[in-house]
Amino acid sequence: MTVPLTIERDFSLRRLNTFGIEASAAAYLRITAAGQLADIAHDASLDGLPRLVLGGGSNIVLTGDFPGLVMHMMIEGIAVIGADADAVYVRAAAGESWAGFVQWTLAQGWGGLENLSLIPGSVGAAPIQNIGAYGAELKDCFHAVSAFDRETGRIFTLDKAACQFGYRDSVFKQALRERAIILDVTFALPKRWQPNIRYADVAHELAARALQAPTPRDISDAVIAIRSRKLPDPAQIGNAGSFFKNPVISAARRDALLLEHPQLVSYAQPDGSIKLAAGWLIDQCGWKGKRLGAAGVYEKQALVLVNCGGATGRDVTQLAAAIAADVQARFGVRLEPEPIFV
Ligand SMILES: Cc1cc2nc3c(=O)[nH]c(=O)nc-3n(C[C@H](O)[C@H](O)[C@H](O)COP(=O)(O)OP(=O)(O)OC[C@H]3O[C@@H](n4cnc5c(N)ncnc54)[C@H](O)[C@@H]3O)c2cc1C
Calpha distance 32→34 (Å, rounded): 7
Q: Tens of pLDDT along 215-259?
A: 999 999 999 999 999 999 999 999 999 999 999 999 999 999 999
pTM value surpassing 0.85 = yes
Give the pLDDT confidence of 127-162 residue by residue, as tens digits: 999 999 999 999 999 999 999 999 999 999 999 999
CB of 119 closer than 6 angstroms to any ligand 1 atom: yes
Task: Give the position, in ligand 1's atom list, of the atom nearest the Cα of 116.
Answer: 8
Task: Please tell me the distance from the alpha carbon of residue 37 to that of residue 110, in angstroms, as a whole number.
Answer: 33
Q: Is 226 in the pocket of ligand 1 (CB under 6 A)?
A: no
Closest by CA to 241, choosing from 313, 307, 334, is 307
- Ligand 1 neighbour 53 (Cβ under 6 A): yes
Give 126 Cα–ligand 1 centroid separation in angstroms: 6
Cα atoms in the Cβ-side hemisphere of radius 13 Å centred on 20:
16
Distance 221 CA to ligand 1 centre (A): 22
pLDDT, tens only, 86-119: 999 999 999 999 999 999 999 999 999 999 999 9
The reported pLDDT for the residue numbered 336 is 97
CA distances (Å), origin 183, targets 28, 145, 148, 180, 270: 18, 8, 7, 9, 32
Residues 301-313 pLDDT 10s: 999 999 999 999 9
pLDDT band (50, 70, 90) for residue 1:
low
CB 274 within 8 A of CB 256: no
Beta carbon of 238 within 6 Å of any ligand 1 atom: no
Q: Does the pLDDT value for residue 183 go beyond 90?
A: yes
Instruction: Give the pLDDT of residue 301.
Output: 94
Percent of the chain clearing pLDDT 90 (strictly above): 95
